[in-house]
Amino acid sequence: MEYKYFSSLDAKSDWYQSMCLLHSNVFNSPISDSIGEELSIRPKFLILVALDDDEVVGYKIGYQDRKTRFYSWLGGVYPEYRGRGIASELMVRQHEWCKSHGYTVIRTQTKNKWRSMLILNLRHGFDIVGTYTDEKGEPKIILEKRF
C-alpha cells in the first residue's frame, strides 16, 4: 500500500477522480465536485490517499477551521479493503501531519450509524465533546483530540 499527501487540488487528476468515485461508493451518493467546492474556500487542507496499484482505495480529508484546530472532514475505504488497517493508518498520518503543522486540536463529527468510524476515533484518542441533531433529524456526535 502506498500513501500520498496532497495540499493542493487538481480536480482533473486521476487520483482526485478515483477518490471522488470512492467517496460516492462509500456514502452512496452521486458523483459530484462537492469536495472540491468545499476545499476551494478553505485556506489550508490536507488530502491523504491510500493507493493500491495507483487506484485510490482509501482517503481522509480535513482542513483548518481555526488557527490551531483542524477539522477531519471525510474519509472512507472500499469495503473489500476494510479490516487491513488502512483507515487507521490514514488517521495516524493525518494526526502526525497536524502536529507537525502546529495544530493543537483535531475535531470531527460522526453518526452512531457509522459505528466503525466512531470506534476508530475513540481508539485514536478522541473524546466525545458534544452532540446535536442535523437537518435530517439525525443525531451527530462531535469528537475532539488534543495534542
- Residue 6 · residue 47 · CB < 8 Å: yes
The pLDDT value given to residue 70: 98
CA 79 to chain CA centroid, Å, is 16
pLDDT grade, residue 30 (50/70/90)?
A: confident
The pLDDT value given to residue 46: 98
- Scanning the chain, the segments in alpha helix (DSSP H) are 14-27, 34-40, 86-100, 115-123
Q: What percent of the chain has pLDDT over 90?
A: 88
pLDDT mean over 87-105 = 98
Q: Which of 11, 97, 73 is nearest to 19 (CA)?
A: 11
Q: Give exposure, 70-109, as e/b (b: 16+ Cβ within 10 Å).
A: bbbbbbbbbeebeeeebbebbbebbbebbeeeebebbbbb
Distance, in Å, from the CA atom of 136 to the CA atom of 6, rounded to the nearest integer, reads 32
- pTM score, whole prediction: 0.94
- Residue 87 · residue 42 · CB < 8 Å: no
What are the residue ranges spanned by the domains of the chain? Answer: 2-77+84-146
- Residue 133 · residue 140 · CB < 8 Å: yes
Q: Give 140's strand partners.
A: 132
pLDDT tens for 44-70 read: 999 999 999 989 999 999 999 999 999
Distance, in Å, from the CA atom of 64 to the CA atom of 50, rounded to the nearest integer, reads 21
User: Is the per-residue pLDDT at 95 higher than 80?
Assistant: yes
* Record: fold of 2-77+84-146: Aminopeptidase (3.40.630)
Distance, in Å, from the CA atom of 92 to the CA atom of 29, rounded to the nearest integer, reads 27
Residue with cell 442535523: 134
Q: Which of 9-13, 73-77, 79-83, 131-135 has the lowest mean pLDDT?
A: 9-13
